[in-house]
């Protein structure tokens, strides 16, 4: 049985890449954690397996058609099964000390926000929550008297490097980007890249959506937006550096000229462990950093010409008026279309940019004050972006 002072965890997105790494941390922590609930998207068997492995009390599958499979896979256990979007919210609301938000995409907004509104500490991997609805999330965290701890490696490094410094003493926050598989490729080669090439990330093994985002540096754009809301810092004090080794994940430059950097091997178990036990430290088997073996750390400016998605994302953040919400929704549709080979790689950034322009000109763009407003914009932009994809009847 778990230790008396063990932490109760809810794991949203338990079957994914961050979910699996979280399971490894929990299993290696000698009873420091117990699991109240797990939630997943559509793979009933995988969700049942992780629920059993963690000894969870409740397993929720978002896809209602998977209920029978989930129930069957959990038969003979004491684990309660449920399916549908409301079941995922129910999982998010099970009593817990910390909720790991590791759903991919805006599908995570409603359950993660529900946990936040219930006063839970959130270990947030699901950056799309903040890109889609940053102001509502940050306002709710303050109102609930709780906090969002960043799992995203750059934000986690920055959070640690910041210490208890006053925001006014921070001159610049820098997020590093590995540059992805196309870091040295020509414009033409990137434009024609296949899903297989875009999915072959040199440093990180991640879910498909974030891997495609990383290949075009859209991921870094989403992360700058995430940092803007999370740290409450204006766009002019946020910077991006390409750093191929993925050893320095983030830097904080202070007003006296000092710079603190967050370093770790590129292993998501490091920031996950940090968030799960914050402010204490776990002992983990996460990969250790061997600087002598790495030898050299290199840094370069991002190339907006070869990676237009980064520019499109930064423009959306500067424009405000809900454009981050629009950007996120259009990007999810474009990435899905690219993975289905309906569009080429360079069309992702174009489709997203067009969605932002359209939203500005027709009044869809406005700063969402609430989660419902953010999700309404998200829904409208998805519909419209889908309808305009090449090969769609309604496309003009
Ligand atoms: P993934 O695709 O591997 O996993 C996504 C998880 O979400 C799966 O468990 C899936 O079943 C679940 N899911 C999907 N829709 C759901 C729904 N409606 N309700 C409940 N669960 C649902 O993705 P990932 O790589 O683990 O990434 C998760 C999030 O973490 C993303 O926002 C990503 O940007 C962020 N992130 C990932 C990494 C990484 O190394 N993988 C690093 C930094 C940030
Ligand atoms: Mg990251």
**Digit-coded pLDDT (tens) for 30-45:** 999 999 999 999 999 9
Q: Is 40 labelled as part of a ligand binding site?
A: no
Task: Tell me which residue has its CA closest to atom 42 in ligand 1.
Answer: 152
Report CA(208)–ligand 1 centroid distance (Å). 9
Classify residue 66: in a domain, yes or no.
Answer: yes
Share of the chain above pLDDT 90, in %: 95
Residues 130 and 188 in one domain: no
Q: How do beta strands 238-242 and 170-177 pair?
A: parallel
Report pLDDT for 392. 76
CATH assignment at residue 59: 3.40.50.720
Is residue 363 pLDDT above 80, yes or no? no
Kindly provide the ipTM of the predicted complex, given to two decimals: 0.99
Q: Is 41 labelled as part of a ligand binding site?
A: yes
Is residue 169 pLDDT above 50, yes or no? yes
Number of domains in the chain: 2
Q: Is 196 labelled as part of a ligand binding site?
A: no
- Chain centre to alpha carbon of residue 114: 17
Report pLDDT for 394. 55
CATH assignment at residue 319: 1.10.1740.10
Task: Tell me which residue has its CA closest to atom 41 in ligand 1.
Answer: 206
Report pLDDT for 165. 95
Share of the chain above pLDDT 70, in %: 98
State how far the Cα of 167 lies from the Cα of 232, in Å rounded to an integer. 8
State how far the Cα of 41 lies from the Cα of 64, in Å rounded to an integer. 10
170 DSSP 8-state letter: E
Classify residue 337: in a domain, yes or no.
Answer: yes
Mean pLDDT confidence for 343-363? 95
Q: Is the CB of 177 under 6 A from ligand 1?
A: no
Q: Is the CB of 150 under 6 A from ligand 1?
A: no
């Amino acid at each position: 049985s778990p230790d008396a002072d063990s932490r109760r965890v809810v794991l949203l997105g338990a079957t994914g890449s961050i979910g699996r790494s979280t399971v490894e941390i929990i299993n290696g922590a000698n009873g420091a954690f117990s699991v109240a609930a797990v939630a997943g998207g559509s793979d009933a068997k995988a969700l049942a397996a992780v629920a059993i492995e963690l000894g969870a009390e409740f397993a929720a599958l978002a896809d209602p058609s998977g209920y029978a499979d989930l129930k069957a896979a959990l038969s003979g256990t004491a684990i309660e099964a449920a399916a549908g979007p409301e079941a995922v919210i129910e999982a998010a609301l099970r009593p817990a000390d910390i909720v790991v938000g590791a759903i991919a995409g805006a599908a995570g907004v409603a359950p993660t926000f529900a946990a936040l509104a219930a006063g839970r500490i959130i270990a947030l991997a699901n950056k799309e929550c903040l890109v889609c609805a940053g102001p509502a999330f940050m306002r709710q965290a303050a109102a609930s008297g709780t906090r969002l701890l960043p799992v995203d490696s750059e934000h986690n490094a920055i959070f640690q490097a910041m210490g208890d410094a006053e925001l006014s003493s921070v001159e610049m926050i820098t997020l590093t980007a590995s540059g992805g598989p196309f870091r040295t490729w020509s414009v033409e080669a990137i434009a024609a890249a296949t899903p297989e090439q875009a999915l072959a990330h040199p440093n990180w093994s991640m879910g498909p959506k974030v891997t495609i985002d990383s290949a075009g540096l859209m991921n870094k754009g989403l992360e700058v937006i995430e940092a803007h809301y999370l740290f409450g810092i204006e766009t002019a004090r946020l910077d991006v550096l390409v750093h191929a080794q993925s050893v320095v994940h983030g830097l904080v430059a202070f007003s006296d000229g000092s710079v603190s950097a967050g370093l770790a091997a590129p292993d998501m178990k490091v920031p996950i462990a940090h968030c799960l036990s914050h402010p204490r430290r776990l002992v983990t088997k996460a990969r250790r950093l061997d600087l002598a073996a790495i030898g050299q750390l290199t840094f370069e400016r991002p190339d907006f010409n070869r990676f237009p998605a980064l520019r499109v994302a930064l423009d959306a953040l500067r424009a405000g008026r809900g454009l981050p919400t629009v950007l996120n929704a259009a990007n999810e549709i474009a990435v899905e279309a690219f993975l289905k080979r309906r569009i080429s790689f360079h069309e992702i950034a174009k489709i997203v940019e067009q969605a932002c322009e359209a939203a500005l000109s027709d009044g869809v763009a406005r700063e969402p004050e609430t989660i419902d407003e953010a999700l309404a914009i998200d829904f409208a932009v998805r519909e419209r972006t889908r309808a305009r994809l090449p090969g769609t009847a309604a496309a003009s």
